[in-house]
A = this chain, B = another copy of it.
Amino acid sequence: MTRSTSPADFSARSGLPTIGPETLRLWTELEARFLRWAAEFDAMPVRYPPLLSTADLDSLDYFENFPQLAVLGSRIRGDAAAKYARAGLPGPEVDAADLEPAGFALPSAACYSVYLDLRGTRLAESRRVTTVATCFRHETHYDGLRRLLGFTMREIVCVGAQADVLDHLARSRQAVTGFLSELGLPIEVRPATDPFFDRDGARSVMQRLFPVKEEFVFGDDLAIGSINFHRNFFGERLDIRQAGGDHAFTGCLAFGVERWISALTTHFGETPAQLVARIQAASR
């Protein structure tokens, strides 16, 4: 029995990726790189629930901002389940009339769970957390590992005093750009629009004064990561407070794992094993 890989070691159909053994080795190396940064930043690893409640997301304006992206989790109504148990599905899909109301949504970003988990707490000191999540976004089109319905996001988050959050983001920016420069992957750090703040005039002014989102962009438009400053939006909405009683500030460094694989493979045109060696060399 050989360990042969399929001709293409990764593929994506309808926005859903399959990652073969050699590319998974590259994946593991990237995750190890991200986790070393998390350890350097003193972030504790946590694994959060794979589903979020729609009510929780609504309290963060999620449905006002991204209603079209959401992937909702629902179940089959009892009467329909009895019908299916006799004859299977009547067609390729489950009709909406056979579904119960959806009380869950699949995460569209990893860090919502960090803030929701801290709801109503007062932090003795600023806190850093790292987490990884399978995230989901309905898009109008999908494109290989570049744009997926289901993808993987690793984040390193800071919650607490504004100065600590800004320091976390500055260190994140420096660590990532330094590593990518060492690696030889050309990226541009570009300010981007955080849709959370699009709709609010006052916040838009703030955004012009201080960038709230910067992306690490490979090629024309592939953001393989981003740095996000949410000010005290999540702190206010979820009543997360600093030691002194002020609402907590939050910010995160986010990576799209599949997009790193796409960018590395496209740029260097090498095997996953060669790319692993490059990452190890650049990490030294």
Chain B residue with minimal CB distance to A96?
A: B99
B96–A97 CB distance below 8 A: yes
Contact with A20, one of B46, B64, B72, B73 (Cβ below 8 angstroms): B46
Task: Please tell me which one of the listed residues B14, B19, B96, B102 contacts residue A46 in the complex, with CB atoms under 8 A apart.
Answer: B19
A144 within 8 A of B: no
A222 on interface, CB distance cutoff 8 Å: no
CA distance A63 to B64 in the complex (A): 34
Q: Does A270 contact B (CB under 8 A)?
A: no
**In the complex, which residues of chain B have a beta carbon less than 8 angstroms from the beta carbon of A27?**
47
Contact of A138 among B75, B85, B87 (CB under 8 A): B75
**Separation of A93 and B58 alpha carbons in the complex (Å):** 9
Chain B residue at minimum C-beta to C-beta distance from A58: B89
Interface assignment of A61: CB less than 8 Å from any CB of chain B = yes
Chain B residue with Cβ nearest A14: B53
| Cβ of A272 to closest chain B Cβ, rounded Å | 12
Nearest CB in chain B to that of A85: its residue:
B67
A245 interfacial by beta-carbon distance below 8 Å? no
- Asked if A21 and B44 make an inter-chain contact with CB atoms under 8 angstroms apart, the answer reads yes
Query: Smallest CB–CB gap between A133 and chain B, Å?
Result: 9
> Which one of A49, A95, A99, A101 has the greatest number of beta carbons of chain B within 10 Å?
A49
**Interface residue A150 (Cβ < 8 Å from any Cβ of B):** yes
In the bound complex, CA of A198 to CA of B197 (Å): 54
Check A45/B21 contact, CB under 8 A, given A54-B93, A72-B99, A74-B71.
yes
Please judge, given known A-B contacts A48-B18, A71-B74, A73-B73, whether A93 and B101 are in contact too, CB under 8 Å. Answer: yes
A255, chain B: closest CB distance, angstroms: 16
Stretch at the interface among A1-9, A207-215, A236-244: A1-9
Is A24 engaged at the interface, CB distance under 8 Å to the other chain? yes
- A127 and B42 contact, Cβ closer than 8 Å, known pairs A27-B47, A87-B64, A88-B58: no
- In the assembled complex, how far is the CB of residue A234 from the closest CB belonging to chain B, in whole angstroms? 16
Asked if B96 and A103 make an inter-chain contact with CB atoms under 8 angstroms apart, the answer reads: no
> In the complex, given contacts A18-B117, A64-B85, A71-B75, what are 12 additional A-B residue pairs having Cβ atoms less than 8 angstroms apart?
A3-B42, A5-B44, A18-B47, A18-B113, A63-B84, A67-B81, A72-B99, A74-B94, A93-B102, A93-B103, A96-B96, A96-B101
